[in-house]
Amino acid sequence: MHDDDRSLRDQLRGADPARDLAPLPPTWLDHRMEQIMTDTTTPSVPARSARRTWIPIAGVAAALAIGAAIAVPLAIGGTPTVEPLALPEGGGLASGSCLTVDAAGLLAQEQAFAARVLTVEGDIVTFEVTERFAGDVADRITVPQVDELTTSTDFSLEPFAAGDSYLVTATDGTISACGLSGPDTPELRALFVEAFGG
């Protein structure tokens, strides 16, 4: 190293904030090493590149697991659990108007889930539950079809359509209306994610 460099390095070292840092106590490292080697049940983790490879695989595996959770019970002949829910009486509009739907309103509900309409037979709608956000929710949900005559005048629920997906909340075995349940739109889903964390 040139003298110039040595002088510069010495000058910089004079400004080193750790210049007077006392050494660690001799036992500190021994204790810490013992702790690490004792506490760590998995002594090695994959290298970063390997972890990156596993992320998409884990994602696919998770997606398959979710699909399997729905499909396997049916494919192997297991009987899906079914829970009937009621529609709100009188359209759920005792006060005559609906409050603005927000995350707090959703959080107050006992059950929250996403579901797709499997069938509409007569006045019975059968949903297949695809996501559970809150509460115990069966594999399938049955509800009476919304009466079109009362839908437009009494409350906010539209008739359910076969094949369509919905975000649904319920309390005391009754579907919550006033915007707390409805088609799976980005707006309602954003509120569900805000309330239940996706």
Partner 1 sequence: MTDAVREQRFRTIAELVVEPVRRYLARRTDAATADEVLNETLLVCWRRLDEVPAGDEAVPWAIVVARNLLANAQRAERRRTRLVGKIIALDPPESVVEYTLDGGDPIAVRDALTRLRRDDAELLRLWAWDGLESPQLATVLGISANAAAIRLHRAKARLKTELMKSAPPAGHVEAEEGSTDARR
According to CB under 8 A, which one of 36, 60, 65, 82 is a site residue for partner 1?
A: 36
- 164 residue type, one letter: D
**Is 37 near partner 1 (CB under 8 A)?**
yes
How would you label 37-75 residue by residue, b for 16+ Cβ within 10 Å and e otherwise?
eeeeeeeeeeeeeeeeeeeeeeeeeeeeeeeeeeeeeee
Return the number of the residue (34 or 102) whose C-beta is nearest partner 1.
Answer: 34
**Is 17 near partner 1 (CB under 8 A)?**
yes
- Of 99, 148, 93, the C-alpha closest to 120 is 148
Tell me, residue by residue from 46 to 85, as one string, x for binding to partner 1 by CB under 8 A and - for no binding. -x--------------------------------------
Return the number of the residue (36 or 124) whose C-beta is nearest partner 1.
Answer: 36
Return the number of the residue (5 or 136) whose C-beta is nearest partner 1.
Answer: 5
**Is 15 near partner 1 (CB under 8 A)?**
yes
Return the number of the residue (29 or 65) whose C-beta is nearest partner 1.
Answer: 29
Number of residues that bind partner 1 (CB under 8 A): 29
Query: What minimum distance in Å lies between the beta carbon of 47 and partner 1?
Result: 6
**Is 18 near partner 1 (CB under 8 A)?**
yes
According to CB under 8 A, which one of 27, 44, 97, 153 is a site residue for partner 1?
A: 44
Please say whether the beta carbons of 148 and 62 come within 8 A. Answer: no
Task: Determine the distance from the C-alpha atom of residue 182 to the mean position of all C-alpha atoms in its chain, rounded to a whole number.
Answer: 18
**Is 97 near partner 1 (CB under 8 A)?**
no
Residues that bind partner 1 (CB under 8 A): 4-5, 8-21, 23-24, 29, 32-33, 36-37, 40, 42-45, 47
